[in-house]
Amino acid sequence: MGLPQGGRRTRDGRQVEARHYIGKSEWLEYRLRQHRTGQSRARVVLALVGKGATFKLVRTWEGGRELEVKLKRQKNTPRLCDECRGAHPPQPGGMR
């Protein structure tokens, strides 16, 4: 979905930057407003926004929960990000 720009701590206490978040919504503007106002159910976004972090929407796809799960299981969100990849990102239908 976007690039939360802020940090979080790992279980061993190291500070890391959260870069990518994938989520789904049938009402995108409403969902983005929830994220921005700290009313999101997405814990990582809620924690980061609560600490003053910002985010921006970088990419959207047509699809539902099945596609969201497929993309998350790849555990390689930078590969899906237009900003990280440049002008020619992969299409989700062509991924395994």
Q: What confidence category does residue 80 fall into, taking pLDDT thresholds of 50, 70 and 90? A: confident
- Cα–Cα distance measured from residue 80 to residue 57, given in angstroms and rounded to the nearest whole number: 13
Percent of the chain topping pLDDT 90: 8
- The domain locations on the chain are 6-88
Contact 71, 92 (CB under 8 A): yes
Give the closest residue to 57 by CA, choosing from 31, 79, 75, 38.
Answer: 31
pLDDT at residue 3, rounded to an integer: 40
Helices (H) and strands (E) in the chain, counts: 4, 2
Locate 23 and state its tokens. Answer: 């989520």
Mean pLDDT, rounded, of the chain: 76
**Section 49-60 average pLDDT:** 82
- Cα–Cα distance measured from residue 10 to residue 42, given in angstroms and rounded to the nearest whole number: 17
Q: What confidence category does residue 6 fall into, taking pLDDT thresholds of 50, 70 and 90? A: very low
